[in-house]
Amino acid sequence: MSSVEELDKSSVVDCLTLVCDFTLHYFSTLGSSLRLHSAKSLTMELFRLDVWYDLDVTRLRSAWQQGLKVACHGSDVELSQYLEQLLSVVVDCVSGTDDVSQVYRLSEIVSRLWHTTSHSLDLTILHEALRSSISVLLGSAWLLAPVLDRALFVHSLEGFDVTTAVGGVSGTRAISLAALTARFLLTTWKAGRSSWTEDKTSCDTAADAAPDEGDDEADNVDVDNTEPACSDENDDLTVDNSDAQEDVDSLFLEMLLDISQTVVCIDASEAYGSKHRLLQQELKQDFCNLIGQLNDTEAELVIGRVLERSMTNGEAWCLVLDVVLCQLESCGKEVVVQRCLPTDAEPFLPLTLSTASTLSVILVRMNRDTRLQIAELMVALMLSSSADDIAVFDSKYVLVIIFTYHISKMTSQNIFL
């Protein structure tokens, strides 16, 4: 495979087309009668070619998909490890590219993997790779200013190393992985939900059924449309499917939060210049589209998770909270946002850097009575503090709190009415 790029492309395409035509018919005809090790080995090589080389071989993807179906329908205890290896090939490839077309081509491959394996693909590898890349960005010096801008206390901010130098490779890797994940979620998450039950209740005994009526059927293999027939043997599968779907949704929501962190890093950074601007714009648009697809329950879960992490960990999470809330509000979910916000001051006591940063994001979104209660509490806290304690407050936010207090008081007394 290392010499593929050195060969004449037309010769490679002709050769691969012949190989894929034969392989597709071979996999389709023999089904589970094929030796599993041979099917897995050949499928892996075809898969690598599809991932690493953008070859104009329309049969290549159908060939490895059919081979993967054969592997998934076998009783191989090492199947999960094999699927992890396939996903790792994609992760390794996307980590080294900032080409938008390649990133989204790879997202289509991950989507095909997901459907071919009947949604049993473990996405942990992709999730961990994305989170690992983001952790580098979150320690960057250029995030310090916007984080401090959301903080009431500025004297002690842990977790940021102003000497950290983030290279272009690390930044590109994080953005590319986030773009891959976002596009995968857009094309898979909601679209695949309606067929979840029938996919998961497929009868194993029907798994061997594959096109064997000649090349016509084999040449038109579509994994999404060739799932085995369903069975009514187990009435409890519906419950199991529901639990499994909740696990998937939970993982996808976590991946959405990882994407939102990357968006925050992009907004806070000028390090990439115009070189990756197209990829950044595409990622931001996909992020907005993902947020727009959330139903009210999912939106509440996202807000709850981000709010908790902002209150607990602070730092860049307050920026993520602001981005998520703004996007939800732009999608017409102001009522959902309001429903998820604290209704009293108790969650913010004692006042810490994290709670203060969170408060600066949500204070303007709270109802008048809550704002008044919190403002009164903050004013009382400052009045009872020593001069040294007062010095650690950012004067800008002292003014904001006092202004909020007076405005709330005047409003409650109908001065403006």
Structure tokens at 357: 């940063």
pLDDT of res. 317 = 92
The residues with which 202 forms a beta bridge, in sequence order, are: 230
Task: Give the pLDDT confidence score for residue 304 in this predicted structure.
Answer: 96
Helix (H) or strand (E) holding 53: none
The per-residue pLDDT for 417 is 34
Which letter does DSSP use for residue 214 in this model? -
CA 369 vs CA 304, 322, 342, 346, 372: distances in Å = 22, 21, 12, 14, 5
Q: What is the mean pLDDT of each run of 10 residues along the chain (417 residues)?
A: 54 73 75 64 89 80 86 77 93 83 91 88 92 85 78 58 56 89 91 44 41 43 39 43 78 94 85 62 92 94 95 89 95 93 82 80 84 75 65 54 57 46
3-state secondary structure of 202: strand
- List, as one string, the DSSP characters of 265-278: HHHH--TTTTTTHH
Residue 263 · residue 283 · CB < 8 Å = yes
For residue 119, give the 3-state DSSP assignment: coil
CA distance 133 to 139: 11
Q: In the prediction, which pLDDT does 385 show? A: 64
- Please spell the DSSP secondary structure of 344-403, one letter per residue: SSGGG-S--HHHHHHHHHHGGGS-HHHHHHHHHHHHHHHHTS-HHHHHTB-HHHHHHHHH
